[in-house]
Amino acid sequence: MKTRLLIFLVHLIIYTSFSQEKKWEKDLKSDLYQVGWIKQSNEGNIIASGAKGLLAMNNTNGKIIWHNKELKAIDKNTYLNIDGLPFFYVEYSPVVGKTRGIIINSSNGNILFDTKDKGYRIKDYTILRDKKTILFELLDNKDQKLMNFDLTKSKVNWITDLGQVSGLFKKLIGNSFINHGPIFTKNNNLIVGVKDEIYALNFTNGEIIWQYNTKKKIKALVYSDNNNSLYVGIKKSNKLKILNPDNGEDITPGKLKLRGTLIDVMPDKSGNLILVETEGFNIIDPTTNLFKWKKSFKIDYLNEVIPHEKGMIAIGKDEKKSSIALVSNEGKKIWDTNINGYAYYATPTDKGVLYISTERSNILDYKKGKDVWRRDVKFKSIPAVTFDENENKVVLFENKKGYKFDLKSGEINLFAEDIKLENVKRKTPLVAEYIKDEGYLLSTAQHMSLLKPNGEIKYSSYYKPASSIKGLVGVAQIGLAVAGVDFDIKGSMENIEMLSSLSNGAYRTSQDQTDGTSKSFEFIGVYTGPDEKNMKAVFSIASQRFFNSKNIKDSQFIVTKVKRENLPNIHKIIKINKKTGATETQIDLLDKTPNYVIDKVDNNVFVNENNHLISAYKF
């Protein structure tokens, strides 16, 4: 009797917490029998897969929009939303026959592409917005294929074979087999590089115009529209090849020999090409296809060259030591300096070259390459980065310390020291966010802490991961492929991207960060018609649906597992106020391995309960 009463009370408590916020519920037992999983499409519809088919529900009221009874028990891991479009891809394995790859219009259920008995599987895609097409990369067993899909007509234009793949690569869905490109030439031909093959295709019909085998892996493929030439760097080759992109003819002059291993070929702002190899770098004049300098500029462990108005910034990287040099446009050294540790990040700023290595960080001034900061800043992992709009300073946090860095003056100041965050270690991949009038949010999927501008911690919390979360993600591994450096650098790659944006003057605003927005603008639209005045929308997608992420809301969602005394553990979805750290709302998930969707745009949660009841809750 006591056990029954306890179970009744538990269910009553759970029911009460749900019923207060429930918007709608839909029992799909008769429609799907058992619901294996739910997802949310780009325009907001809830896609549900079950034993009796695949269907979509309106996210605002739960009404079924469409139901395809043929597509039964689809594998959740194959679901892929096509960015910015009302399309998604799934793979269906019928009882008899080959696995089918299918592209579906999520708004009406129309099947736009079906491999049927051909057995194609989509690996990756590239949206060409200006051409209103998508390039899909397909696998047919070991055969690689490129598909041109017309967005205006919602149909396949062409499918072209691009050779075969070997090894386990064919099993890894989601990784591109195109290593270079797509590149478009003056004649609107499409060029792609795949391992040691270059393909030039007629973009209208997909016909291969010419094909070129380099025998070894292609390391660089650059097209210059200044002289309509294609530059090809080949692994372990001592020569840079130049091809005519119209017919694949080798038009390389005899003097473009390399002394070492090719690293990269890239254009600069003036239209010249920078050739970077292990033994030095030089400038190619596209009018003659010859080197501009008599001697290439050499630097130890050369890895990267950054064109800049002050000259060329050459960066050498090795496991224990690195080097940075400023080189004139005539190939003469202005200055160079040695750096302790592996310099995994370097960028030009107003005051000089900012670098971060595994041992030290500083700014080197443009005149003599001298340190701008009086003392080195030591980051053992990639620092969390944000921008304080009130103070106009970059905020860096790592290893219990917070710094404020003025990009214009070049000054850096330690404003927080010995900061202890709940269950955060040096290798924890923290990201930072500026919270207007409050401070700096330091977070991961399971952490939230707020560091005030004066260096004090306002709150710090850790939430135990749910069983469905497999540890921490977002750890960077830098240098392994490029320089053969055998170590990992811990931290989030988002911070490197943020540093690059800030150093190029892209400061995020408070509205972008904390205020949210009801304003939407078109991310991609496809129209057709005889002229501009009589265009009809094929479809139009608003960015608000896709890109109002949790980072532009006042609160953050976290899924956590809570231990209960004498009761089974329970999973909760909690909404936490970024300014206060307080839990605003929480929803209990009944299943041990819950299947749910968090809609961060409209602050809704959709839960698949007991594999047949879909419920929507408003936060």
Q: Which stretch, 232-236, 310-314, 510-514, has highest mean pLDDT? A: 310-314
Question: Could you tell me the CA-to-CA distances from 549 to 171, 196, 516, 521, 607 in Å, in that order?
Answer: 31, 40, 9, 15, 20
Over residues 253-301, the pLDDT tens digits come to 876 778 777 888 888 877 788 989 888 999 988 888 888 998 999 988 8
Question: How remote is the C-alpha of 95 from its chain's centroid?
Answer: 36
199 burial via Cβ count (<10 Å: 0-12, 13-18, 19+): buried
pLDDT, residue 1, reads: 45
In this predicted structure, what is the pLDDT of residue 8? Answer: 41
pLDDT in tens, 103-141: 999 999 999 998 887 878 888 889 888 888 999 999 888
Residues 6+ apart with CB under 8 A from 72: 50, 51, 52, 53, 54, 92
Q: pLDDT at position 471, please?
A: 35
**All residues at 6 or more sequence positions from 13 whose CB lies less than 8 Å from its CB, including other chains:** none
What are the angstrom distances between the C-alpha of 279 and each of 238, 267, 479? Answer: 11, 19, 18
Mean pLDDT of the chain: 81
Do residues 506 and 512 lie in contact, with contact meaning Cβ atoms separated by under 8 Å? Answer: no
pTM for this structure? 0.76
The region of weakest confidence among 50-54, 87-91, 536-540 is 536-540
DSSP annotation of 374: S
Whether residue 43 has pLDDT greater than 50: yes
- Which pLDDT does position 609 carry in this prediction? 81
Beta-carbon contacts of 128 under 8 Å, excluding residues fewer than 6 positions away, are 134, 135, 182
The yes-or-no verdict on residue 575 having pLDDT over 70 is: yes
Which of the four pLDDT bands, split at 50, 70 and 90, describes residue 534? low
- For range 149-156, the mean pLDDT: 87
What's the rounded mean pLDDT across residues 445-456? Answer: 94
Other CB atoms within 10 A of residue 307 CB: 18
pLDDT classification of 38: cutoffs 50, 70, 90:
very high
pLDDT tens column, 70-101: 999 898 888 988 887 889 999 988 877 788 88
- Which tokens hold the place of 265? 């070929």
pLDDT in tens, 496-531: 777 777 766 655 433 333 332 223 334 444 445 555
Tokens of 489: 């650098």
